Amino acid sequence: MNRYPRNMIGHGPTPPDAAWPGGAKIAVSLVLNYEEGGENNVLHGDAGSEAFLSDIAGAAPWPGQRHWNMESIYEYGARAGFWRLHRLFTGMSIPVTVYGVATALARSPEQVAAMRSAGWEIASHGLKWVEHKDMPEAEERRQIAEAIRLHTEVVGERPLGWYTGRCSTNTLRLTAEEGGFAWISDTYDDDLPYWVEVGTRDQLVIPYTLEANDMRFATSPGYTEGEQFFTYLRDSFDTLYAEGEAGAAKMFSIGLHCRLIGRPGKIAGLKRFLDYAQSHEGVWFPRRIDIARHWAEAHPHQRVERPSKMTHADFTARFGGIFEHSPWIAERAWNLELGPAHDRAAGVHNALTRVFRSAARSDRLAVLQAHPDLAGKLAAARRLTEHSAAEQAGAGLDALTDAERAEFERLNTAYVAKHGFPFIIAVRDHDKAGILAAFQRRLAHDTETEFTAACAQVERIAELRLQALLP
């Protein structure tokens, strides 16, 4: 079975109404990454110094050595930046979520006490602020468990949220399998939360951000001054706020780091943005646990049958009749590279039509010939497929006058005699008069034109049938 695991559809073209509390038009989630004391350092048992997200241009690890300048920049985040941000957020009565590296929290008891006193959520940011991409699965599982244990010991309660950041392809699955997280944020793929199914667990994911993030002060391309950060945050806010006013409320995540945005010239841009956001009505500043609890209540997960996970037999049984009397199309479609994007009507339709379009002309002709005449003998004998019977009845073709029935019979006979296959039209797109008019018009076409038109109509009929079965 050829299956593609990445999800390219998400909530689709019509995302759900977030229904934020109080009718808020936007949820602004402020995240403060607390990594100071958890970064790479030979004092922490690491092979070398840290080189990521600092104001040292072009920093590289120093193998086997302490990097005094790098250490002091991280220490600034704990000693000065954190407190400047604490004063800002508490002074504006804005709660935040902390992504706390467990070993960093253990080395910062006064900061942890201040977080708790402010009512901030302290989520887990892993055991250490190190790269996970090459970490063996068993070791990553062990570190996740140790991060939770140490976090619980230091903070006084286990974390309900998780974000690794420098993660592996296993991270989201492993944290979901742990079973105790209300939310996980190791994705950047949406403006709304969503659910993933990991075994028997339904795990809520709250996507994070790397662009509305002060890390851009330390990466290229990035920000060089607070005003640029403010401008980007404001423009993002304005776009999302307008969508919320139009009835499609979204979430706006903002990523912050004590050693970066905590600098005086950078925090000014953040302060300007918060003043701007608070000047608008209908703005909710939740912690991520608040978003998770709201989403679980307002949008609980419901497991549904997913075409990409069906067996060959089940897929064929479910979709074998979408193309009239042609189950071979579904049989072949199951062997395509299917994935989450094929779990909706448009995805299954695309898979089926790919098989139909690439089939030999003789096979496509057989599909056309498998269709019944409109209001013909099969209809009169009630021998239509369930799909065809419902479609013809919906267009009123099961209640024709004698004169109308005679006209359909005349047209059917003439059309088949000329083209070698019955007249095919997606009757759900037309009323009885429109069907007759199309019939009379298309009877004059050459066979090649009608073959192309009939194939297009077969695909449209399949699309309408699938829309009745799937979202």
In sequence order, the β-bridge partners of residue 29 are 253
The answer to whether 371 is a known catalytic residue is yes
378 backbone dihedrals φ, ψ, rounded to 5°: -65, -40
| Residue listed under structure tokens 């005699």 | 417
Position 408, amino acid: F
Taken in order 160, 187, 200, 341, the sign of the CA dihedral is positive
Q: Are 25 and 274 in contact (CB under 8 A)?
A: no
Instruction: Look at residues 339, 344, 429 and name the one whose alpha carbon lies nearest to residue 14.
Output: 344
d(CA 275, CA 284): 14
Nearest-5° Cα angle at 136, 132 to 137:
95
**Could you count the other beta carbons within 10 Å of the beta carbon of residue 51?**
16
Looking at 257, 294, 371, 419, which residue is catalytic? 371
Position 17, amino acid: D
> Exposure pattern of 262-284 as b/e (b: 16+ CB <10 Å)?
bbeebbbbbbbbbeebeeeeebb
Point out the residues that are catalytic: 371
